[in-house]
Structure 1
Amino acid sequence: MRVVLVLDHAHINGGQAKVALDSALGLSARGHAVTIFAAVGPVDPRLEQAGIRVVCLGQDDIESTKNKLAFAAQAIWNRKAAEALGDELQRYDPADTLVHVHAFAKSLSPSIGVPIAASGLPCLYTMHEFFLVCPNGGFYDYPSEAICHRTPMSLSCLGTNCDARSYPRKLLRVVRHVGLDHVARLPDLFRHVITISALQERVVAPLMPKGTLFHRVDNPISVTKAPPRSGPPGDFLFVGRISTEKGAPIFAEAARRAGVRPVFVGDGPSAAELKVRYPESVMLGWKNAEQVQALMREARALVFPSIWYEGQPLTVYEALAVGCPVIVSDACAGREAIEDGENGFWFRSGDPAALAAHLSRLTDDALADRLSRQAHERYWAGPLTVDAHLDRLEQVYERVAREAAGRRPIVGARAGGRAAATIAAETPPRALR
């Protein structure tokens, strides 16, 4: 099978790109022909080394652009990306090729839907976030610091400034969503949608066209198995973007109420303010993957206090894999990995008092040790390995390709009858142009 992976960035700049590129490398190693189509470079050098075809347009995203006005037009409808993707997809045969879209909202834009539809190639979409149904991609009202329950593109939605920066930026995203819905028709195009948590499917299913098929494919977790920790548990740990929607201020306040020291790994817009308001907090900044896992291994618990929907927070699973219990907000999908009281705790989202109660409970070393052993044992009973991810991905690809083959007309069947249909069905797919 030829798999064309479509995403904004040709290098790892976050969870979406990591999952897409890791799967590209894995699929290639399993013998599939893989193409990466992306807008923003640089290109991850591992792709060329693996013999993966890469088409990178060398365009900007919102962080790298020097011309905000020009980028606004690109974000709404990226003509260059649509033309280039159309040219690329003409190379391939629908009989043995599949298009898998991972991301479009940071640079490619909804314009990619037009060439995908025109190509006739079977396609599917992984919903790492919610841009397919929500203009701001997160069902989160940033000014109100709360999950948004409005119907996307309703009058209530259109009249609400939910954007993290400004209302004009919200309106730009609304215009883009009109193109997504009514020109590119992406929700209709992607009959097959991969979700990464049960919560995610519950949120998006009522907003997708009738007949949409959802496939659960867990993201892979890159952690090497090691024995559970043997030393005494250490501090309570927060890992990630230090911001309001991630619940960082809630952790800092809860830690003060519980009389424990909060340790933050990462950075973000709330870091400086939290350090001033809570001088007892420890700010370690960003660390690489190995350093983070080492810190988790020694921590008393990972605190994941996010107050918005999280598709499948990898940090939660990484912590469990190294034997670190997790205290998680009940608003996010991270709760699906936690058996309350066994390998961690749930707490009421946005409530520092509820979080503080669990922090106080886990100052008991014996309890922390029991939860640590359970975290390690339960994770490794069914680890989210790259191979498990690829196995499931191949199952979904086979389903999508089989359905597409069933809908594809057999050339000559009407004119030549059963014999002609048989000949057409047995004819090998055309070679790449």
Structure 2
Amino acid sequence: MHIVLVADHAFVNGGQAKVAIDSALGLAGRGHRVTLFAAVGPADPRLEAAGIRVVCLGQDDIATTRNKLAFAVQAIWNRAASARLSELLAGCDPRETLVHVHAFAKALSPSIGTALRRSRLPLLYTMHEFFLVCPNGGFYEYPKAEICRRVPMSGACIATNCDARSYPRKLLRVVRHAGLDHVAGLRELFSHVVTISALQERAVVPYLPRTTQFHRVNNPISVARSEPKAGKPGDFLFVGRVSTEKGAPIFAEAARRAGVRPVFVGDGPQAAELSARYPEAVMLGWRDGAGVQALMREARALVFPSVWYEGQPLTVYEALACGTPVIVSDACAGREAVEDGETGFWFRSGDPDALAAHLRSLSEGGLAERMGRAAHARYWASPLSIDAHLDRLAEVYATVMRDAVSRSPSEAAGMIAAKAGAPA
């Protein structure tokens, strides 16, 4: 097959891009022809080394732009991305090409929808977040620090300031989403959608066409297998963005109430405030992947107190693979990885007392060690390896290609003939 992967970034700057690039490398390793189309570079050097064609526009994202007004225009409707993607897809054979979109909201914009529709190629979309249905991408009201249950793009939604920065930025996202729906038609365009958790699928089903076919494909987890850890476990560990939506303040407060020391790996807008308010907290800053996993193996438990839905939080799975139990908020998708009372605990989202009770439980006796061994055994019985990810992708790709042929075989034949220069 020829697989065209579409993403905002051609390098790893987070979970979305990592999955897209890891998939690209794996698919190329299995003999497929792979093209990565992205807005923001530089391209990961591993792509060229693997023989993957990279089409990168060299554009900015919100973190790199020096002209916020120009970027606002790009974020609403990226004309250059639409034109260049149309050019790329025009030369693709529909009998063997599939376009798999991983991301568009950070740089490419909904404008890619016009190019995708014009191509009439088989399409697949992976729902890493919720931008396909929600203007702010998270079903989350940042100023109130709570999950938003309003209908996206309803009057109540538009009137609510749910943005992390300002209401004008929310309105910009509303304009972009109007383009997504009424110009690009992205929600109707993707008849096949990959979800990465059951919670995520339940959240989006009401807002997508009833004919949408959902496919569960777990993201791959990069953890080397090792023996379950031995010896006395260490501290309780938080890994990720130190922010309100990730539940960092809840962990700090719960740790104080439980009389344990919280350790934070990461950084974010709440880091300085929490460090001042909770001087007992250890702030380690960001660590590379190997460093994070080393800390996980030493930890008593990973605490994942996120108060929003999440997609498929990889740190939860990484901790379980390292043989570390996880205490997870019952509001987020991370709970799907944890057997409550067996490989960790669920706690009532946003409740520091409920979290503190579990911190105390794991501080005593050998419970943390027993749960850690159970976590290790459960994870490695069916690991989320790159091979498992690619095997599942192959099944989904085959389904999408079959569906494309069955929907309009005469139309497909006409396109093939037209591309070959013969009468349609």
TM interval, shorter chain, is over 0.9
Aligned equivalents of 2:122, 2:182: Cα separation in 1 = 20
Aligned equivalents of 2:184, 2:275: Cα separation in 1 = 46
Deviation of residue 411 (structure 1)?
Answer: 7.8
Partner of 1:91: 91
Local SS of the residue matching 1:110: coil
Aligned equivalents of 1:130, 1:114: Cα separation in 2 = 20
Aligned equivalents of 2:264, 2:217: Cα separation in 1 = 30
Deviation of residue 323 (structure 1)?
Answer: 0.2
Partner of 1:120: 120
Partner of 1:407: 407
Write the mapping of 1:19-98 to structure 2, written as runs, cut at 5 A.
19-98=19-98
Aligned equivalents of 1:182, 1:217: Cα separation in 2 = 29
Q: Is the 1:93–1:430 contact (alpha carbons within 8 Å) kept by the matching residues of 2?
A: no
Aligned equivalents of 2:328, 2:365: Cα separation in 1 = 19
Local SS of the residue matching 1:89: helix
Partner of 2:291: 291
Write the mapping of 1:316-395 to structure 2, written as runs, cut at 5 A.
316-395=316-395
Structure 1 outlier segments of 4+, above 3 Å: 408-413
Compared with structure 1, are the counterparts of its residues 203 and 283 closer, same or farther at alpha carbon in structure 2 (3 Å cutoff)?
same
Q: Deviations over 1:106-133 (max 9, x none)?
A: 0000000001110010001000000000
Task: Say whether residues 1:138 and 2:146 are aligned partners.
Answer: no
The one-letter amino acid of 1:284's match is L
Deviation of residue 408 (structure 1)?
Answer: 3.5
Q: Is the 1:232–1:365 contact (alpha carbons within 8 Å) kept by the matching residues of 2?
A: no
Compared with structure 1, are the counterparts of its residues 395 and 385 closer, same or farther at alpha carbon in structure 2 (3 Å cutoff)?
same
Deviation of residue 410 (structure 1)?
Answer: 3.7
Deviation of residue 84 (structure 1)?
Answer: 0.2
Compared with structure 1, are the counterparts of its residues 280 and 87 closer, same or farther at alpha carbon in structure 2 (3 Å cutoff)?
same
Local SS of the residue matching 2:184: coil
Local SS of the residue matching 1:75: helix
Aligned equivalents of 1:214, 1:239: Cα separation in 2 = 30
Aligned equivalents of 2:231, 2:181: Cα separation in 1 = 54
Deviation of residue 308 (structure 1)?
Answer: 0.4
Deviation of residue 409 (structure 1)?
Answer: 3.2
Deviation of residue 231 (structure 1)?
Answer: 1.1
Task: Say whether residues 1:245 and 2:242 are aligned partners.
Answer: no
Q: Is the 2:243–2:270 contact (alpha carbons within 8 Å) kept by the matching residues of 1?
A: yes
Q: Is the 1:233–1:365 contact (alpha carbons within 8 Å) kept by the matching residues of 2?
A: no
Deviation of residue 364 (structure 1)?
Answer: 1.5
Local SS of the residue matching 1:269: coil
Q: Is the 1:97–1:121 contact (alpha carbons within 8 Å) kept by the matching residues of 2?
A: yes
Aligned equivalents of 1:205, 1:211: Cα separation in 2 = 10
Partner of 1:417: none
Local SS of the residue matching 2:26: helix
Partner of 1:215: 215
Aligned equivalents of 1:411, 1:70: Cα separation in 2 = 39
Deviation of residue 210 (structure 1)?
Answer: 1.4
Q: Is the 2:405–2:412 contact (alpha carbons within 8 Å) kept by the matching residues of 1?
A: no
Aligned equivalents of 2:95, 2:410: Cα separation in 1 = 11
Partner of 2:3: 3
Local SS of the residue matching 1:38: strand
Partner of 1:181: 181
Compared with structure 1, are the counterparts of its residues 291 and 138 closer, same or farther at alpha carbon in structure 2 (3 Å cutoff)?
same
Partner of 1:311: 311
Q: Deviations over 1:128-171 (max 9, x none)?
A: 00000000000000000000000000010010000000000000
The one-letter amino acid of 1:275's match is S
Deviation of residue 406 (structure 1)?
Answer: 1.7
Q: Deviations over 1:209-245 (max 9, x none)?
A: 1100000000000001000001111000000000000
Aligned equivalents of 2:238, 2:132: Cα separation in 1 = 30
Matched residue count? 420
The one-letter amino acid of 1:300's match is R
Compared with structure 1, are the counterparts of its residues 412 and 285 closer, same or farther at alpha carbon in structure 2 (3 Å cutoff)?
closer
Runs of 5+ in structure 2 lacking a partner?
Answer: none
Aligned equivalents of 1:215, 1:144: Cα separation in 2 = 33
Runs of 5+ in structure 1 lacking a partner?
Answer: 414-420
Compared with structure 1, are the counterparts of its residues 378 and 430 closer, same or farther at alpha carbon in structure 2 (3 Å cutoff)?
farther
Deviation of residue 405 (structure 1)?
Answer: 1.4
Aligned equivalents of 1:62, 1:290: Cα separation in 2 = 28
Q: Deviations over 1:187-208 (max 9, x none)?
A: 0000000000000000000110
Compared with structure 1, are the counterparts of its residues 411 and 338 closer, same or farther at alpha carbon in structure 2 (3 Å cutoff)?
closer
Aligned equivalents of 2:130, 2:310: Cα separation in 1 = 10
TM-score by length of 2: 0.97
Q: Deviations over 1:74-125 (max 9, x none)?
A: 0000000000000000110111100000000000000000011100100010
